[in-house]
Amino acid sequence: MKQINDGNLSFTLIVETENLASCNPSEIEHLFDSLLNQTQKITEANEVIIGDNGLMPPEIFARMEKLIPNLKQIEVKRELTYYQVKNFLANYATGEIVIFCDSDCIYTPEWLANIIESFKIKPEANVVGGETVIEIKDSYTLAMGLNYMLHRQTLSPELTEIKFYYLNNVAFRREFFCQNPLPDRLKIFRGTCSVHSRLMRNQGVKIWRNAQARVYHLPPQNLRYYLLRFLLMGHDNYWLDRLLTAPLQSKVTEEGKVEKPLPEESVKKVKANSSHQQLSLKQRINRRIEYVTKQFSVYSQEYNITKKQLLLALPIVIFSQGLVALGRWITQFNSLFSEEPHWLYRLSSFLD
């Protein structure tokens, strides 16, 4: 990758603790250990902001407070959603670059340096995402890698333009993010990044990906989370089909301010006739097989996947996709009676 040195960029790291509800809260210690091991020292950040919603073990916070002198604790209301917390914490950032981390991820040593370097290579960039993956250790992690929410891309050493980012591994220019916050009132559990990405791309904003900024994401850690997460994935997929079909074009006022219609209002004008729903069952199954095959191709370039692992992983993949389909069908049936997302979304309170 081309190296450009044009001075230092000030930056802020933002860490949420919402995801600790879905795993052992002590996992956040692994996150901080990975951040402390960065080649670009996090102690050089303007601040490392952590949202405290009561889930983080106090003994871990006390240890991190000693190791990270620029750590800033911000109290967060428990009822705020994952995306609302991200918007809220960004208000306290002072760095030129705002970098979002998640409490259930582990960041490779060169991650932070690569993210910051991306803005030097592309001075015009406003958004840079990294590569978030599930580390393949066994059949279960392979199954999650093949069909979870993380869509692997073909590996590339260069910055590449992408259609969407993940909020567990992305950086924005702070001024740009303040003008283009997340649409955090959508009634979906996850997937708001896709809507936000489309809103930005409609303005002509390019989203860049640095595959060298690598993050390892935990797979579902318990049976309850696994079952609910894949059901909610079906719920989210149904509503995202509609949200991403709705007219979300932006307009610019005379003052130069970008006005974006609220997606949740726009979606009510769109019939539930997405390209997915227009496909036959066979076509949907073929599309899903093609997707899983592509994911396997990318993962197999990096990991030595055995036939035994694959054979044991396939039943988990099939069952997981069955849960996704069930979640979609339940949501589609409910939409016959109400335009509002229903009880499947309300079940997300057990996960956030």
pLDDT (tens digit per residue) in 54-108: 888 888 889 999 999 999 999 988 888 899 999 999 999 999 999 999 988 999 9
Work out the widest C-alpha separation in the chain, in whole angstroms.
62
**Given a cut of 60, is residue 298 above it in pLDDT?**
yes
What token pair was written down for 318? Answer: 């099939």
Give the H/E segment covering residue 251. strand 251-252
- The pLDDT of residue 286: 84
> How large a percentage of the chain has pLDDT more than 70?
86
Cβ proximity of 195 and 183 under 8 Å: yes
What does the alpha-carbon distance between residue 190 and residue 219 come to, in Å, rounded to a whole number?
15
pLDDT on residue 243: 81
Helix ranges, the chain (H): 27-36, 58-67, 82-90, 111-121, 139-147, 174-179, 192-202, 223-243, 263-266, 281-300, 307-335, 343-346
pTM, rounded to two decimals? 0.86
From the list 107, 350, 339, the residue with the least C-alpha distance to 220 is 350
Residue 17: pLDDT band by 50, 70, 90 thresholds?
Answer: confident
Cα–Cα distance for residue pair 272/244, rounded to 1 Å = 11
Q: Residue range 197-223: average pLDDT?
A: 92
pLDDT band at 257 (very low <50, low <70, confident <90, very high): very low
Instruction: For the beta carbon of residue 257, count every other beta carbon within 10 angstroms.
Output: 9
Q: Region 255-276: what's the mean pLDDT?
A: 46
Q: What are the structural domains of the chain?
A: 11-221 (3.90.550.10), 234-350 (no CATH)
Identify whether the C-beta of residue 87 lies closer than 8 Å to the C-beta of residue 172: no
Residue 302 is classified by DSSP as T
Query: What pLDDT score does 248 carry?
Result: 52
pLDDT over 60 (residue 18):
yes
| pLDDT reading at 272 higher than 70 | no
Give 125's pLDDT tier (boundaries 50, 70, 90): very high
The highest-confidence range among 265-269, 312-316, 342-346, by mean pLDDT, is 312-316
Contacts of 107 (CB under 8 A, 6+ apart): 31, 34, 35, 38, 101, 169, 214, 215, 216
Q: Map residue 210 onto helix, strand or coil.
A: strand
Dump pLDDT digits (tens) for 213-244: 999 999 998 898 999 999 999 999 998 888 88
**Average of per-residue pLDDT across 248-256:** 41
Q: Is the pLDDT of residue 190 over 50?
A: yes
- Of the chain, the percentage scoring pLDDT greater than 90 comes to 55
What confidence tens digit (pLDDT) does each residue in 29-51 have? 889 999 999 999 999 999 999 99
